[in-house]
Amino acid sequence: MSSRTSWLGPGMTRRLLTAVAAGAAAELAALGLIGAAAWLITRAAEQPPLAALSVAIVAVRAFATSRGVFRYAERLAGHDVALRAQATTREKLYRALIPSGPLGHRGADLLSRMVDDTDAVQDLLVRCLLPAVAALVSAVAALTAAAFLLPAAALALLAGLLVAGLLLPTVTAAAARRWSARLAPARAELAARVADLVHGSADLAANGAGDQALTAAAEADERLAALERRQARANAAALALGTLAQGLTAAAIVLLAQRSGVGQVATAVLALTALVSFEPVLPLAAAGERSAGVTAALRRLGEIRATPPAVPEPSEPASPPRAPLTVEVDDLVVRHAPGRAPALDGVSLRLTPGKRVAVVGPSGAGKSTLLSALMRTTGFESGTIRINGVDVRELSPDDVRASITGLTQDPYVFRASLRDNLRLAGPEAGDEELAGAVRRARLSGWVERTGWDAMLGEDGRTVSGGQLQRLALARALLHDPEVLVLDEPAEALDGGTADALMADLLDATHGRTTLLVTHRLHGLEGVDEIIVLEGGRVVQRGHHDELVTVPGYYRDLWESEALTTAG
């Protein structure tokens, strides 16, 4: 059980045992209720004195009341522990994703794992574990009572219970495994297709691919529906066979009781006890089928949790660095995969307090990789990165990211108000601080038109690319880290707005440590040093005035930009 319940948090084992005990007590009360009621009805038909029935009358009332109480307690405790376990599983999944990244999965697939697969924890408890324990306790009690009244009836009941509670669940579980491993990926594929239709509807329409995408989504839906129909047929067949076993067992017990001459009262008690003992056993066939899906879902969750982090946490992290910070990068080599060419090869730079450094170069030169290594979201093969003389591998990645962060590529916008999206970077920020960050990011006009409480669509679907970039920039300025990194802050902006933004940005970062990655050279004459990367190597470095006089990538780009502006 420990391997399957490692997601149980502290204190939840006690809640689980409470739910198990309450469920077992509810089934015993149901069994006692039917047995007492059967005895009371058949004995009353013989018209004995009322005093002879008083104990049975009280027992019926007690079992009926206690059954409801225990059932309520079982539902309350069972769902409490199931929901807590589900929340714990999701929390652990989120924590596994933070250092590991998206693991190469599509967003819809990750969403499927976070929602559908984590529901498997709840199903494992509520639909598999608790019913199995309750059925076992009820079966043992029913067999004990039958053995006391008529041993032959106990053997018939045992045979029927084994068929309904062991054979059928085993068969349904085996059948479910044939397609359960395909069911979760099929759901993820459908979710991905639907997400593509919703998020990419404009692009699909512009490229005339809408019908093709709809067809692909319909095919994915049909594949999922076919698998679910097979599940439904298996469940229906298992339930029908279980009900048949229940009826045949009760009939066999009645025949045995009549032949043995145990009397009408005992016959009624045996028959009705046999019937009710199957009630908690019959759902086990569906539980067996569900267990296969639960196993596949937990295995998919385990794939994420077992993935090693991109940047390992040191066993004993050093103390967090204190301002002012000096960041030194020496001979840094980063390789994204073994055997591949290095994304960074021997890169060195030095960021002293208040120094502003710009990194330029063509796409794929390694600029964003350099930022990732500095923020400890990507490991490095060799070389060193030191903060105030301490190797970053000795520091907690969270402490590094708290000091070195800012605007990265693909910023995310949540479906929340503009104010709340900004406050992600500064939860305690007041309106004046928010307004200052917005002003420096040149978003004041947009905010005045929409208002602070304007709702933004999920993933920034309701804002333009330029607005999204400036919103992310406002977040970075509001967070105000010791070392501000800016990855293409003017991306997706028109030339005039981009130049104005760069001018405001350089003015706002005056006197603070900044590492700027950009394709635009306008305004870089104000930074302290410019580093030119090509193929992961530093090919030029110096001040703007020096680089524009030396043949190379920087001067070529500067001249091209000047011609574009003049045109």
- Find the range with the poorest average confidence among 138-152, 281-295, 470-484: 281-295
Beta carbons of 386 and 328 less than 8 angstroms apart: yes
The verdict on domain 327-566 having CATH code 3.40.50.970 is no
Predicted model pTM:
0.63
Q: Please tell me the predicted confidence (pLDDT) of residue 460.
A: 60
Q: Smallest Cα–Cα separation from 244: which of 163, 363, 346?
A: 163
The verdict on domain 12-305 having CATH code 1.20.1560.10 is yes
Beta carbons of 547 and 554 less than 8 angstroms apart: yes
For residue 431, give Cα distances in angstroms to 426, 436, 441, 505: 11, 9, 15, 21
**Alpha-carbon gap, residue 90 to 120, rounded angstroms:** 11
Q: Smallest Cα–Cα separation from 498: which of 560, 420, 550, 442?
A: 442
Q: How would you class 497 by CB atoms within 10 Å of its CB: exposed for 0-12, middle for 13-18, buried for 19 or more?
A: middle
Tens of pLDDT, residues 426-466: 888 888 888 888 888 778 888 888 888 888 876 666 777 67
pLDDT-based confidence at 90, cuts 50/70/90? confident
pLDDT-based confidence at 104, cuts 50/70/90? very low
Which uninterrupted H or E stretch holds 566? helix 553-566
Domain with CATH 1.20.1560.10 in the chain: 12-305
Beta strands in 382-436 (DSSP E): 382-387, 390-391, 404-407
**Alpha-carbon gap, residue 292 to 288, rounded angstroms:** 7
Tell the residue number behind the tokens 């819809």, with chain if given. Answer: 108
**Better-predicted residue by pLDDT, 110 or 55:** 55
> 390-391 and 537-542 as β-strands: parallel, antiparallel, unpaired?
unpaired
Q: How many CA atoms lie within 13 A of 340 on its CB side?
A: 12
First to last CA, the chain: 72
What is the sign of the dihedral through the CA atoms of 82, 85, 91 and 95?
negative
Cis peptide before 324 (omega within 30 of 0): yes
The one-character DSSP state at 532 is: E
Res. 306: pLDDT tops 70: no
Which uninterrupted H or E stretch holds 516? strand 514-517
Q: Stretch 110-116: mean pLDDT, rounded?
A: 61
**Mean pLDDT score of the chain:** 83
Res. 389: pLDDT tops 70: yes
> 404-407 and 483-487 as β-strands: parallel, antiparallel, unpaired?
parallel
Beta carbons of 341 and 537 less than 8 angstroms apart: no
Q: How would you class 260 by CB atoms within 10 Å of its CB: exposed for 0-12, middle for 13-18, buried for 19 or more?
A: middle
Tell the residue number behind the tokens 């400036």, with chain if given. Answer: 470
- Find the range with the poorest average confidence among 204-208, 343-347, 380-384: 204-208
**Alpha-carbon gap, residue 40 to 57, rounded angstroms:** 7
Domain with CATH 3.40.50.300 in the chain: 327-566
Tell the residue number behind the tokens 């106990």, with chain if given. Answer: 154
